[in-house]
Amino acid sequence: MSPSVRLQEMIRVIRSARTQGEERGVIQRECAAIRAQFRQADNGGRSHNLAKLLYVHMLGYPAHFGQMECVRLIASPRYNEKRVGYLGAMMLLDENQDASLLITNSIKNDLAHSSQYVQSLALCTLACMGSAEMCRDLAPEIDRLLRASSSYIKKKATLCAVHIVRKVPELGELFTPAARALLAEKNHGVLHGAVILITELCERNAQTLVQFREAVPELVHIMRGLVTSGYSPEHTVAGISDPFLQVRILRLLRILGRNNDTASDAMNDLLAQVATNTDSSKTAGSAVLYETVLTVMDIKSESGLRVLAVNILGRFLLNNDRNIRYISMTSLQKIVSTDHNAVQRHRGTIVDCLKDQDASVKRRALELSLALVSAINIRSMMKELLLFLSTCPPELKSHAASGIFNAAERYSPSQRWHIDTILHVLITAGADVRDETVPNLIQLITNASQLHCYTVHKLYRALVADISQQPLVQVACWCIGEYGDSLLQGDCEETEPIQVTEDDILDALETVLQSHMSSPATRGFALTATMKLTSPRQRGEGGRIRSIVSIYGSCMDVELQQRAVEYNALFKKYDHMRAAVLEKMPVMDRSSMGQTNGESGGGGVQELEPTKPKQPEMMVAPQPASQVGGGEGGGAVFLYIVYYGMVTMDPSVAPAAVTVYDKSGVVLKLSCERPLDASQTITLTATNTSDHDVSSLTLQAAVPKNVQLQMKAPSGDSLPARSSAVVTQTVLLNNPNKVGPGWAGTPG
Amino acid sequence: MRFMLLFSRQGKLRLQKWYTATAERDKKKMVRELMQVVLARKPKMCSFLEWRDLKIVYKRYASLYFCCAVEEQDNELITLEVIHRFVELLDKYFGSVCELDIIFNFEKAYFILDEFLMGGEIQDTSKKSVLKAIEQADLLQEVRKLPHNMLCF
């Protein structure tokens, strides 16, 4: 066709450009020429120039200067120019451009044009890029075309009306009468468009929906005609009569039958007929069956029909075509909560799909499998799921891991099984589990006291094998710290014995500490575990541990450094407190945990283990105190008290008064009262047994953000000599979230 | 249907039709991303995938990928049939269509698409009548100027 030669020539030249730069050069030249042509008067080649520009636009180059040319061409009396002009409008103008409004008038004129092909262009453009304003302007025109025109125009006007309703839902009322009448049409194209229009109207307006319910018998009649009619060469695809129209009608029936018994009854027989008679060997038939199944499951259908539908889905699951398997699983997912037992029957096939090559199918199979886990099948399902976890694509790992955890939590047959499962997941996919897994697992382990020996053995083995999975390493370190004594004992009834010496354990912990794979939080766990091993029940030998801990006193990480310094202090000055501080952790209650493990925590004194200690543990790391001066006015005494632990809720505990400072005759004691809810009262008692008075005694306290502090007035600010009087001060702490580490108080 | 894309195995866009208003920048980004995702798929894999919040239905014919983005409630299997129907129309029109036909006659490919789909929906379920309409419109293009009393079909 000769007129397009110049366009094709340009395309050829562009394609023959060898480099991106060359192509750009060619295009720049062409665009310059096109721009010049646009400025000239009409020379008969306008449509070709615009076509060239559209090609350039498709390659990704800017073409906004063609917008006005589109507007001009649309107004041309020549069909070929109109055609390209409208194409340009659809490609270059969208409702965000101002120029789009300029074509409204042209469209209006063309809608009334005597040539139906011109009308078609206008309708198509309006349906493609019509803005809300344009739609409002032209809606009456469209309505007119819906009622009185040829089938060719009617079908296009219907789809244009669909676009208008989508853009401006209020205009739906305008089209409702015409839409109703269109159902009587014989032309498949018009019918198809009409069904779509009615679907849109019903979806947006409840009253229209009620109105169209009366059309259900008519729709059923049309559908029946399609299903039982003979071969119609024009509309048949793979033996199915007009599958496009069938699918559309089924979808409309779904919307009309939803939540309505009468409508659902009216379509019941038809749906059964379609479900049984449709040949699903090709995609067209499967598409119709699929839509039928969706409709049956969504309306108020008889139970027999529902069973039929689920069976169809089950048949789809066995289909060789991967697409059909995928579709069937998507649908089963939608009904698994309502028709659980029916779907359970197909569990075997679904689990097999976990091994499919295709990632989309795998994802669907995973979702379904997780939904199908129940108390009865938990063991076999978990085997499959764990197998899947080891071979699944990385993007599914995290989802699979959390799904497995949820399932294990709900249905685990025994604690040991539960712990084993979680360990297995951590070993296989440790990097992808969520943060709260570690505290959850720790809590689980502490609760299973009879399994401590078994657990620590397993974890030790896992730790020695691989230290790259952070959550696993963290849990392992924690357990070794707590239950290291069982490890040293060597024998454990539930697992093979292993000879572990203290040095072996320390080796393992040191490896964790030094490895560059360990995150700061993991190192924290390891350091504390090392420290815990010095507790007398662990018979830990202090020397090696001390040296390990003191190395970290100069670590770059502030958190680790602080811990190391404090632990060092425990060795040096507070050896008498060491045993108490390093006691075994008590059994935890789920409700006390409001925090994820150290990874995500911010600054401040980090809580290493989410814990609810039976007694407030206190540690004191003194800093050089300036001397309590002999004489009046004395210097200030600074104390740095670090208080670990949370407010305890256990009423049976009688909190002891702890001496926090005892020097030169001045003794300061902090005692905690029985706490109520989240608050704690602390009383500071200061006594002076020296020969000199101490004056200007003040207490300063600082607390982390989550704790509220209220200091009452002290009873006095000077301590007379020889214990003749004491000074007390009360401090109220409120920890509304029951989380949080400690606070620091300084008596000044 | 939200949009339809045709692109080659080398990642060159041959046709794009958008049925929702989208900014030019976003269009480019989406096309780039989607092409990457689809081109990475292996031959025997499923024709459906989930991308952003859309369902993508794609099929490869020779060297061209036909890719449609449909809404949540749309039937994916029938979309495959829609794609197939479009390919059949192109085939009938160009006579054993190949990628070069679509490159050098891209505007005609658009005209065919616009006669087949409007607003993302099928206009006519009969292959014959779509082809006839395109034929007639082409004839009209040959005429220099439209007479005022043009007969309607």
- Residues A272, A307: contact at Cβ < 8 Å? no
Taking residues A57-69, what's their average pLDDT? 89
Instruction: For strands B54-61 and B48-51, give the pairing.
Output: antiparallel
Lowest mean pLDDT among A170-184, A615-629, B82-96: A615-629
CB-CB neighbors (< 8 A) of A359 in chain B:
45
| Cβ of residue A200 closer than 8 Å to a chain B Cβ | no
The beta-carbon neighbor of A290 closest among B73, B77, B148 is B77
- Residues A608, A528: contact at Cβ < 8 Å? yes
Q: Which of B82, B34, B72, B137 is nearest to A330 (CA)?
A: B72
The beta-carbon neighbor of B13 closest among A58, A234, A287 is A58
Taking residues A112-129, what's their average pLDDT? 92
pLDDT for res B83: 96
CB-CB neighbors (< 8 A) of B148 in chain A:
114
The beta-carbon neighbor of A159 closest among B107, B118, B129 is B118
Tell whether ipTM is more than 0.85. yes
pLDDT for res A4: 53
- The CA-based angle A9-A12-A18, given to 5 degrees, is 140
Which has more pLDDT, A101 or A700?
Answer: A101
Residue A613 has pLDDT above 60, yes or no: no
pLDDT for res A600: 33
Task: Give chain B's radius of gyration (CA, Å).
Answer: 17
| Cβ of residue B8 closer than 8 Å to a chain A Cβ | no
pLDDT for res B31: 94
Which has more pLDDT, A519 or A271?
Answer: A271
CA dihedral A633, A636, A637, A639 (to 10 degrees): 150
In angstroms, the CA A555 to CA A489 distance is 33
Q: Which two tokens stand for residue A315?
A: 């048949």
Computed over every residue of chain A, the mean pLDDT equals: 79
| Cβ of residue B94 closer than 8 Å to a chain A Cβ | no
- Residues A182, A190: contact at Cβ < 8 Å? yes
Residue A474 has phi, psi (to 5 degrees) of: -60, -45
Taking residues A347-371, what's their average pLDDT? 87
- The CA-based angle A273-A275-A277, given to 5 degrees, is 65
Taking residues A635-646, what's their average pLDDT? 34
Q: Which two tokens stand for residue B38?
A: 């689809």
Residue B152 has pLDDT above 60, yes or no: no
- Residues B63, B3: contact at Cβ < 8 Å? no
What would the pLDDT profile of A380-427 be if each residue is shown by its tens digit? 888 888 888 888 888 888 888 888 888 888 888 888 888 888 888 888
| Cβ of residue B99 closer than 8 Å to a chain A Cβ | no
Taking residues B107-123, what's their average pLDDT? 94
The beta-carbon neighbor of B140 closest among A4, A79, A242 is A79
Q: In angstroms, what separates the C-alpha of B88 from chain A's closest C-alpha?
A: 12
The beta-carbon neighbor of B107 closest among A54, A94, A283 is A54
- Interior/surface letters A30-40, b for 16+ CB within 10 angstroms, e for the rest: bbeebeebbee
pLDDT for res A347: 87
Lowest mean pLDDT among A173-187, A250-264, A289-303, A376-390: A376-390
pLDDT level of residue A499 (50, 70, 90 thresholds): confident
pLDDT level of residue A540 (50, 70, 90 thresholds): low
Q: Do B140 and A117 touch (CB under 8 A)?
A: yes
- Interior/surface letters B82-103, b for 16+ CB within 10 angstroms, e for the rest: bbbbbbebbebbbeebebebbb
Percent pLDDT > 90 in chain A is 23
Q: Which two tokens stand for residue A235?
A: 């509309």
pLDDT for res A460: 82
pLDDT level of residue A653 (50, 70, 90 thresholds): very low
3-state percent breakdown (helix, strand, coil) of chain A, nearest 5: 60, 10, 30
What would the pLDDT profile of A451-498 be if each residue is shown by its tens digit? 788 888 888 888 888 877 788 888 888 888 888 777 777 666 666 767
pLDDT level of residue A649 (50, 70, 90 thresholds): very low
Q: Which of A97, A112, A444, A372 is nearest to B23 (CA)?
A: A97
Instruction: For strands B3-8 and B13-18, give the pairing.
Output: antiparallel
Taking residues A228-248, what's their average pLDDT? 86
Of the ranges A202-206, A302-306, A506-510, A726-730, which is most confident?
A202-206
Q: Which two tokens stand for residue B32?
A: 């780039």
Q: Which residues contact A98 (CB under 8 A, 6 or more apart)?
A: none
Taking residues B103-122, what's their average pLDDT? 94
Percent pLDDT > 70 in chain A is 81
Q: How many CA atoms lie within 13 A of A476 on its CB side?
A: 31
Taking residues A141-160, what's their average pLDDT? 92
pLDDT for res A5: 63
Q: Best of B35, B123, B131 to disrupt the A interface by mutation (most A CBs within 10 Å)?
A: B123
Taking residues A164-168, what's their average pLDDT? 94
B4 bridge partner residues:
B17, B68
Report helix angle B127-142 to B106-116, nearest 10: 130
Lowest mean pLDDT among A347-351, A615-619, B147-151: A615-619
CB-CB neighbors (< 8 A) of A120 in chain B:
115, 133, 137
Residue A515 has pLDDT above 70, yes or no: yes
Residue A586 has pLDDT above 80, yes or no: no
pLDDT for res A545: 78
Q: Which two tokens stand for residue B53?
A: 């919040």
Lowest mean pLDDT among A574-583, A716-725, B68-77, B104-113: A716-725
Residue B146 has pLDDT above 60, yes or no: no
Q: Is A142 exposed, middle or buried (0-12, 13-18, 19+ CB in 10 A)?
A: buried
- Residues A76, B146: contact at Cβ < 8 Å? no
Residue type, A679: S
The beta-carbon neighbor of B125 closest among A11, A242, A290 is A242
Q: Do B81 and A284 touch (CB under 8 A)?
A: yes
What would the pLDDT profile of B21-31 be if each residue is shown by its tens digit? 888 889 999 99
Q: Which of A277, A268, A280 is nearest to A306 (CA)?
A: A268
Which has more pLDDT, B54 or A652?
Answer: B54
| Cβ of residue B81 closer than 8 Å to a chain A Cβ | yes
Q: In angstroms, what separates the C-alpha of A70 from chain B's closest C-alpha?
A: 14
Taking residues A191-200, what's their average pLDDT? 95
pLDDT level of residue A593 (50, 70, 90 thresholds): very low
Nearest CA in chain B to A291: B75
According to the 3-state scheme, what is the secondary structure of chain B?
CCEEEEEECCCCEEEEEECCCCCHHHHHHHHHHHHHHHHCCCCCCCCEEEECCEEEEEEEECCEEEEEEECCCCCHHHHHHHHHHHHHHHHHHHCCCCHHHHHHCHHHHHHHHHHHEECCEECCCCHHHHHHHHHHHHHHHHCCCCCCCCCCC
Element containing residue A619 per DSSP (H, E): strand A617-620
pLDDT level of residue A533 (50, 70, 90 thresholds): confident
CB-CB neighbors (< 8 A) of B128 in chain A:
234
Residue B5 has pLDDT above 90, yes or no: yes
| Cβ of residue B36 closer than 8 Å to a chain A Cβ | no
- The CA-based angle A47-A51-A52, given to 5 degrees, is 120
pLDDT for res A645: 33
| Cβ of residue A366 closer than 8 Å to a chain B Cβ | no
Q: Which of A123, A117, A147, A145 is nearest to A135 (CA)?
A: A123
Q: In angstroms, what separates the C-alpha of B142 from chain A's closest C-alpha?
A: 8
What would the pLDDT profile of B32-74 be if each residue is shown by its tens digit? 999 999 999 888 888 998 888 899 999 999 999 999 999 988 9
- Residues A386, A424: contact at Cβ < 8 Å? yes
| Cβ of residue A150 closer than 8 Å to a chain B Cβ | yes
Q: Which two tokens stand for residue A742?
A: 């400690």
pLDDT for res A602: 31
pLDDT level of residue A228 (50, 70, 90 thresholds): confident
Lowest mean pLDDT among A90-99, A184-193, B19-28: A90-99
Residue A349 has pLDDT above 80, yes or no: yes
Residue A692 has pLDDT above 70, yes or no: no
pLDDT for res A688: 74
Q: Do B152 and A118 touch (CB under 8 A)?
A: no
| Cβ of residue B137 closer than 8 Å to a chain A Cβ | yes
| Cβ of residue A333 closer than 8 Å to a chain B Cβ | no
pLDDT for res B120: 92
pLDDT for res A358: 83
In angstroms, the CA B146 to CA A65 distance is 28
Nearest CA in chain A to B32: A60
Residue type, A1: M
